Amino acid sequence: MSANILAALLHALPVLAPLVAALLLARRGRSRALAIGAAPWLPLSLLLPLVSGGQTGSPVLLLGLTLGTDAVSAPLILLCALAWTLAGLYARARIQRDRVLLWSGWLTSLAGISLALLAQDLGSFYAGYAVLSLASWLLVIHARSAEAWRAGRVYLVLALAGEMAVFAGVMAIAVRVGNVALVNLACSAALDPGWRALILAGFAVKLGTIPLHVWLPLAHPVAPVPASAILSGVIVKAGLFGMLRLVPPGASGTELFGPVLFGFGLFSAFAAVLLGLGQHRPKVVLAYSTVSQMGLVLAMYAALLMAPELAPLLLPWLGLLVLHHGLNKAALFLACGCAPGRSRLRLALVVLPALAIAGAPLSSGMYAKTGLKQALAAADFGSGWLVLLGLSSVASALLMWHFLCLVQKDRHYHSAHPAWILMTLAGLAVPWLWGLSHSLDPQPGHALWPSLWPLLVAAMLVWVARRMPRFRIPEIPAGDLVVPLEAPLGALVARLRRVADSD
């Protein structure tokens, strides 16, 4: 009995500890200081269930919710533990304004994503996901400027729309099979395609899939640097995780969505780069880079739907891609607050994760993308799709070059916080350590040229563009699609208010 209680505590701690700390923020003095002091370290508690493994039902502590880890959640749990901790250390040192607001959103979001990642049943997962979606709004509006409130409105509208879509799908599943264990969803009673489409659309909001991406480029320039690091490095991955959980590969009828999602993913991967090249603020460029990279992630999920027999081969590589992107993108966001243009050493620390995002030779990006290409080749997806994946690396390299040109101009006085350096080192090393420990063969001999030619093509395009002084990509407003919609929607809301007031 004592062993069962200990196991329940280990699995419940990552959910309960942030909630307790968030409650302590309401008390002034020592309690609040204790909560803020402990907050950066709480994500490391996610490593306890990851190391102990298995599942536990905790009827007293968590109202009967079943928590545990598996191969799907493991890389995301590791990413969340590392990125959230290092970003938290940065936040505690650098952010002194409205700390209660920041840490309330920070800790509640952490509790939500911890519950979603550890959940082994339908109800637990949705509860965690909903808490994460709503609490993240506090991170977006932290500055409380006009721009922050605007970004918060757009985020909240899309988040609530996504929540309603996912909730409708969850209710449809619950009506058929009750609070089913997530591992049994693939073999549960078939769900109508319309419900699955709602679920996928809801999670696509979180994933930042075009045209549901507009909250990302609006939120990142106004959110604090560490909040941007976890929004783009960790939280967007909850969209992929939700898809894998509620619309698992191999479930009856899911193959119908594969080609459509594959097309949306590749379109997002390229279109977001074009949008990002028209930006002139580093954090907005990184936001569009995330939209592009998550497009690639969506395409890989779609490949799983089309060829579910490849899941044992493709899923570990997809997990590695998520881990690689999360750590390196978080490092790039933290760099935005450390004046990388002040020295060559700082600039080098920015170049390393940027090269990894572009999939440069011997980087973690090369490691992950090579494995994904091998898996797709094994499924006979055709050489054309593989060439498109290579061209996506060209696009990523161009966007990373644009980001480096912008960020090296930042020479204001800011010290290089150790959390940024550690995040950069983690992005370089952790994906390799994870992959090798899980027997994922990098095959460097076969991967060097496929990872090198996209960089050479990108370098050639940059060289050509620099010799065309009249060539300029027009500036595109951050949020792109939402900009022309704001005025008519605002007028509609104002008219509805007048009608309501007249009644």
Q: What residues form DSSP beta bridges with 65?
A: 58
Report yes or no: 259 and 292 within 8 Å, Cβ to Cβ.
Answer: no
- Cα gap 240→268, rounded to integer Å: 15
- CA-based end-to-end distance of the chain: 62
- Cα gap 458→442, rounded to integer Å: 24
Query: pLDDT per position in the chain (503 positions), as tens?
Result: 466 777 778 888 899 999 999 999 988 888 889 999 999 999 999 999 888 866 665 554 445 678 888 889 999 999 999 999 999 999 999 998 888 999 999 999 999 999 999 998 888 999 999 999 999 999 999 989 999 999 999 999 999 999 999 999 999 888 888 888 787 776 665 678 888 999 999 999 999 999 999 999 999 999 999 999 999 999 999 999 999 999 988 877 778 898 999 999 999 999 999 999 989 899 999 999 999 999 999 999 999 999 888 888 889 999 999 999 999 999 999 999 887 777 788 888 999 999 999 999 989 999 998 888 888 877 677 667 778 888 888 999 999 999 998 888 766 656 778 999 999 999 999 999 999 999 888 777 777 888 888 899 999 998 888 888 777 777 777 767 776 766 676 666 556 666 666 65
Report yes or no: 450 and 387 within 8 Å, Cβ to Cβ.
Answer: no
Q: What residues form DSSP beta bridges with 57?
A: 66
CB atoms within 10 A of CB 361: 15
Q: What is the pLDDT of residue 344?
A: 84
- Cα gap 128→166, rounded to integer Å: 13
Tokens linked to 68? 């545990």
Q: What is the pLDDT of residue 317?
A: 93
- Give the helix/strand (H/E) hosting 95: none
CB atoms within 10 A of CB 408: 18
Q: What is the pLDDT of residue 60?
A: 40
Q: What is the pLDDT of residue 503?
A: 57
- Give the helix/strand (H/E) hosting 243: helix 237-246
Give the Å distances, CA to CA, from 185 to 130, 179, 191, 429: 20, 10, 10, 35
Tokens linked to 349? 């620390």
Q: What is the pLDDT of residue 96?
A: 87
432-446 burial: b if 16+ Cβ within 10 Å, else e: bebbeeeebebeeee
Q: What is the pLDDT of residue 374?
A: 82
CB atoms within 10 A of CB 184: 12
Q: What is the pLDDT of residue 372?
A: 86
Query: Which backbone phi and psi does 181 adopt, to 5 degrees?
Result: -65, 135
Report yes or no: 233 and 327 within 8 Å, Cβ to Cβ.
Answer: yes
- Cα gap 61→50, rounded to integer Å: 19
Q: What is the pLDDT of residue 308?
A: 87
Report yes or no: 319 and 222 within 8 Å, Cβ to Cβ.
Answer: no
Q: What is the pLDDT of residue 75?
A: 95
